[in-house]
Amino acid sequence: MKTIIIDIDDTVADSTNYLMKYAIEFDKYYARGEGIIDSSKDLTRCFNWPKDILKLFLEKVFDKYLDEIPSIKDSVDIINKLKQAGHKIIFVSSRNEEQMKEPYKRTLNWLKQNNFQFDKLIVKERYKGPVIEKEKADIFIDDSIGQTTYVSDNYKVEVILFSKIKENYNNIKIIDNWNEIYKTIN
């Protein structure tokens, strides 16, 4: 069986889509009010806020609504099928104290609330390559082009970019739904 490393935000948690309405309101009242500058970036970068405003957003919005973020369609069912088939499931996230209070506990509670079955949770890991190496991962699934490209270039692991983008990247499978991920792994 395989060891599968899976990112959380925008891979299994629909974070950007859910929090965008709050981010737009926050931008109007606390930031520059310029709206979305670059929609290709994740939620914390698409407004191009300076660090102090981003920190305020994370404190006022991300931390407050974290527990309400829904899971991405079919992610729970597919991950649980993979776990039941004997695969080792490890969630790895860059969530940290700058984004929320008690990142491990809050993320663990979110995974449990959403009924994910898994073997391990690791938080505060901005760069996932060392975890992939330490855990001897076979498959890495993430929504970040930067993370997946770096891992693909530096580690011997099957890489899946969870995204709707249409570009091709060497040795990276680009898949935008969990049913296709399941077909790829099994």
Fold of 3-14+69-185: Rossmann fold (3.40.50)
Q: Residue 97: what pLDDT? A: 87
For the ranges 9-13, 42-46, 60-64, which has the lowest average pLDDT?
A: 42-46
Neighbours of 71 (CB within 10 A): 20
Q: What are 50-89's pLDDT values in tens digits?
A: 888 888 888 888 888 889 999 999 999 999 999 999 999 9
Q: How many CA atoms lie within 13 A of 105 on its CB side?
A: 5
What is the pTM (predicted TM-score) of this model? 0.92
CA–CA separation, 185 vs 11, rounded Å? 16
User: Is 100's pLDDT higher than 90?
Assistant: no
φ, ψ at 55 (rounded to 5°): -60, -45
Q: Residue 40: what pLDDT? A: 63
User: Is 101's pLDDT higher than 90?
Assistant: no
Helices then strands, each counted (H, E), the chain: 8, 6
Kind plus residue range of the DSSP H or E element containing 76: helix 75-84
DSSP classification of residue 86: T
CA–CA separation, 85 vs 66, rounded Å? 30
Q: Residue 41: what pLDDT? A: 64
The domains of the chain are located at 3-14+69-185, 15-68
Q: What are 116-144's pLDDT values in tens digits?
A: 999 999 999 989 999 999 999 999 999 99
Q: Under a CB-based contact definition with an 8 Å cutoff, are residues 186 and 167 in contact?
A: no
